[in-house]
Amino acid sequence: MNKISRRKLIYGGVAAAAGVGGLAVADRMAKRYGLIPPDGKGVYGPGETLTYACQRLLTVHMPVREFPRSMISKNPFANEISPRNDELKRLEAGGFRDWRLVVDGTVAHPLVLSLADLKTLPVHSQITEVACEEGWSYIAEWIGTPLSGVLREAGVLPQTRYVVYDALEKNGWESIDISEAMHPYTLLTMGMNDGDLPVPFGGPLRLRVPRQLGYKSVKFVIHITATDDIKKFGKGLGSVDPEYGYSWYAGI
Amino acid sequence: MVRATHWLTFVAFIALVVTGGELVISHPRFYWGEVGNVNTKPLFVIPIPSSRDTVPTGYSYVMPDQNGWSRSLHFEAAWVCVLTGLVYGIYGLLSGHFWKNLLPERRDWNWRAYRERMAQYLRRRPPGQAEESSYNVLQRTAYVVVIFILFPLVIWTGLAMSPAFTAAFPWTAELLGGRQSARTIHFFVSWLLLLFLIVHVAMVTMSGFWRRVRSMITGNLRSSEEGR
């Protein structure tokens, strides 16, 4: 049997106590400052929480990587994974004049906006990269209006912690935290590369979240809900992704 | 400390290799530069079926999607690796472990020492008594490359694929030539690390697998010999 010196034992004890104490403090701080993601439980919870907490502290006020016009991809990949549903086809046939975006939840005045309404709001464009979790990517210019402006227009209430967004597609809902929602680059996108946003790329309306992976940039957005309680939505994990093992927070 | 971090890193690394391989299956194409997708010319393609039907592989079937748990486990194991590496790095610096055991000894800083050691391996000469408890110049060089070059590089290239991290530190992707370059380098460095693991285990096997494994767990080479 190895001899363990008294000094080693004391050092070990102090280190273990400091570790446990540190973890307890970290846990309380994390809860207080909202550093635990909705899917921060289970086997992969510690990893998700560490990533989300670090990225929030590190990147919350950072912009996003933008690229020169010359780097816009000539052949972007639309990644159409499900066939267009009938409702989308019907709206497309009408030139999307009947497209409506509902904004509700913890807001002072819920809104129902047409695309024409959205186009009266300040225009913002960004040349940013779509990076898919599978590994591929492309760069495009995205034109639209920041989500923050729409949320302010609706009078988003101070207790709001998450913004849930819903697609015309079944099960196409997602959510982001309020700091990501208010980020100037989080864009309600209606145009791409100097034209209307094509349907394969999510037209007429896609929420671009360029600081996270592609699957957070939901296509065909019809409904935005501000909330102070993400547990009320779906299985309470923030989106459907965690049900398939995917992270809710996709900034990595 | 060295032993505890060794085994933690071992477990995390195995998880990273398995899940990393699984993630490659969802897009077994590699590119150079900032962007790359099925509409752009790849640097090279791994001739395996994909877990996505949008990737043209030449195979008529699509593999099951395992990216969900693979991604979660990959990042969690990466955290274990990074935090363990941090503890090991601080310990190695403070305790002198790096200078004493890993940095090649001053007298071996020449090609002759490398040549001689190489010749000894190639002729299958048994190692001297000194190597029972210390590392020779080839071992030290391999460990230094793995610990101070390959692991930092694989972590850097991993982070350079993160959209949020690169938003904060754009140069981490730009210095590598772009996001897709980072992915390609990540892939090759992972192979180098796996190659190291294979050679490492082969070497351990040649010097008595269970005796060495036991000593890496208990820290006591002689007592495990007597225990037999």
Q: What are A98-107's pLDDT values in tens digits?
A: 999 999 999 9
What is the chain A residue with the closest CA to B218? A2
Q: Are residues A237 and A118 in the same domain?
A: yes
The single-letter code of the amino acid at B6 is H
Reply yes or no: is the peptide bond before residue A146 cis, omega within 30 of 0.
no
Contacts of A128 by beta carbon, 8 Å cutoff, 6+ apart:
A64, A65, A66, A67, A139, A140, A142, A185, A208, A210
Nearest to B167 among A64, A67, A76 (CB): A64
Q: Examine the domain organization and report whether A126 and A229 are in the same domain.
A: yes
Whether chain A has a CB inside 8 Å of the CB on B40: the answer is yes
From the list A58, A139, A244, which residue is nearest B68 (CB)? A244
**Could you give the ipTM of this predicted complex?**
0.91
Whether residue A54 is predicted with pLDDT greater than 50 in this model: the reply is: yes
In-domain check, residue A38? yes
For residue B181, the Cα-to-chain-centroid distance in whole angstroms is: 18
Q: Are residues A204 and A239 in the same domain?
A: yes
Q: Are residues A90 and A197 in the same domain?
A: yes
pLDDT value at A175 more than 90: yes
Using an 8 Å Cβ cutoff, are B36 and A137 in contact?
Answer: yes
* Residue A153 domain-assigned (yes or no): yes
Residue A169 belongs to domain with CATH number? 3.90.420.10
Average pLDDT over residues B80-88: 97
CB < 8 Å to B170, chain A: 65
B173 touching A (Cβ < 8 Å): yes
Residue of B26, B35, B219 with shortest CB distance to A129:
B35
- Residues A227, A196 share a domain: yes
Same domain, A27 and A107: no
Instruction: Kindly state whether residues A45 and A75 are assigned to the same domain.
Output: no
pLDDT tens string A196-244: 999 999 999 999 999 999 999 999 999 999 999 999 999 999 999 998 8
Out of A32-41, B28-37, B196-205, which region has the weakest mean confidence (pLDDT)? A32-41
Q: Which residues in chain A have their CB less than 8 angstroms from residue B23's CB?
A: 134-135
Is the same domain home to A139 and A240?
Answer: yes
Q: Does A239 reside within a domain?
A: yes
Interface test with A, best of B165, B172, B174, B186 (most A CBs within 10 A): B165
How many domains does chain A fold into?
Answer: 2
Reported as a single tens digit per residue, the pLDDT across A9-31 is 787 788 788 888 877 877 777 77
Helix, coil or strand: residue A102? strand
Does A161 reside within a domain? yes
Does A207 share its domain with A230?
yes
Together in a domain, A194 and A147:
yes
Residue extents of the structural domains in chain B:
1-72, 96-228
* Residue B179 with chain A: CB contacts under 8 Å: 129, 131, 137
Q: Classify residue A36: in a domain, yes or no.
A: yes
User: What pLDDT sits at residue B228?
Assistant: 35
- Co-location of A50 and A73 in the same domain: no
* Residues A133 and A97 occupy one common structural domain: yes
A184/A61 Cα distance (integer angstroms): 10
> pLDDT averaged over chain B?
92
The boundaries of the domain holding residue A44 are 6-59
Candidates A43, A77, A134; nearest CB to B39: A77
Quote the pLDDT of residue B223: 47
User: Does residue A25 belong to any structural domain of this protein?
Assistant: yes
Please indicate whether, in this complex, the C-beta atoms of B67 and A81 are within 8 angstroms of each other.
no
Higher pLDDT, A170 or A2: A170
